[in-house]
Amino acid sequence: MIPVAGVVFFGWRVLDVMLLYWAENVVIGVINVLRMAVSRGGLGVGDGRIDAAIRAAIEAAPQAQGVTLERIGQIMRITMIPFFIVHYGLFCWAHLSAIFFLFDPGDRAPAIVSLFGFDAIPLLIGIGPIAVSHLYSFVTNFMG
């Protein structure tokens, strides 16, 4: 309801609301990095038969080489977190550029520079409750 109140009572523009929803994407990306960092999930593709075969192959491997499910999970986290950050960062940059291209009537510099040239109050007011909501969901639904 914060964006609705901002539009109705405080005169927020479409650009302000779109930037707020863009910032929510950034919060979601940060939460996903946290999920990947603390995840202890199993290996596999989601098909029970294939996952069981993967587990059996790993457990049959010589333990002298230190190949365990835990070690493979650590390696996957170490490699997937930077991969996600780079690709999700590129998505967020393209998304931000599209928002400024479509919703900013002014003649501004590229989107990443323009972020410092607009009124950030709507963004700051709205992102706090959104971040708290996503963090609460992460702690209660994912960690819990």
pLDDT in tens, 22-51: 999 999 999 999 988 887 655 555 566 776
Q: Domain count of the chain?
A: 1
| Tokens 């291209």, located at residue | 101
Q: Does any domain span residue 62?
A: no
CA pair distance 104, 100, nearest whole angstrom = 5
Examine residue 129 and state whether it is found in any structural domain, yes or no. yes
Is 98 within a domain? Answer: yes
Whether 26 maps to a domain, the answer reads: yes
Could you read off the pLDDT of 71-100 as tens digits, one per residue?
A: 777 777 788 899 999 999 999 999 988 888
Q: Is the residue at 125 inside a domain?
A: yes
Question: Quick one: residue 66, left, alpha or beta (phi over 0 = left, psi -120 to 50 = alpha)?
Answer: left
Note down the domain range covering 98: 2-41+70-143
pLDDT exceeds cutoff 90 at 58: no
Query: Is residue 101 in some structural domain?
Result: yes
Domain-embedded: residue 120: yes
Q: Two tokens at 39?
A: 């995840």
Q: Is residue 114 part of a domain?
A: yes
